[in-house]
Structure formats: C-alpha cells, structure tokens
C-alpha cells in the first residue's frame, strides 16, 4: 500500500506534528509520501525525518484553493493524478 498526503506545508503547530508522526510511523510498514505546496520548515523537517517529500510551487496560492480554477494552481489535480500513477 502507498499513501500520499497532500498539504499546504505552511502549518507549524499541531497539524505538522501529527502529519509528520503519522507518515514517519506509516513508513515502518508501507510507503508514505508527503506533497507540500510550500517549501519551508514543514517540508524540511519531513525530509530530515526520512519521509519522502515532494514540493510543488504555486506562487501566491492561498490556503484552501480547492480545484485551483482561476488560480496559478489550475490543473494541479491532473498533475496529482500523474504523480499518483507514477507511484503505482
């Protein structure tokens, strides 16, 4: 089984702590990856913990962008599907 967790990557509190702990422990028995839409402390800490981490940059993207329609992230869902297919 493979798990890919998508997150904005700007979190610095409880969400970050829980996601990193979850992925680190999942990686003991399955493959779990992190995809962040912001590079920074969250993504770096994941890398430091040995969690496979991808960074996809969408300049000026607000939190909660949904499908990205009308934003710089338009088409991100297609990119995500291609990423998932490559991981199978």
Can you give the pLDDT at residue 62? 66
**How high is the pLDDT of residue 49?**
95
Q: In what order do the strands lie in the sheet with 31-36?
A: 2-7, 31-36, 53-55
- What confidence category does residue 4 fall into, taking pLDDT thresholds of 50, 70 and 90? confident
Neighbouring CB atoms inside 10 A of 11's CB total 19
Is the overall model pTM greater than 0.85, yes or no?
no
The tokens of 8 are what? 């904005």
pLDDT digits (tens, 9 = 90+) for 10-64: 777 788 899 999 999 999 999 999 988 888 889 999 999 999 998 887 777 766 6
Residue 34: enclosing H or E segment and its boundaries? strand 31-36
């Amino acid at each position: 089984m493979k798990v890919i967790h998508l997150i904005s990557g700007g979190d610095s509190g409880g969400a970050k702590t829980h996601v990193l702990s979850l992925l680190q422990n999942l990686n003991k028995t399955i493959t779990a990856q992190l995809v962040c839409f912001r590079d920074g402390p969250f993504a770096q800490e994941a890398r430091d913990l040995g969690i496979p981490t991808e960074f996809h940059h969408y300049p000026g993207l607000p939190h909660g962008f949904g499908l990205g329609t009308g934003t710089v992230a338009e088409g991100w869902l297609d990119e995500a599907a291609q990423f998932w297919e490559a991981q199978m």
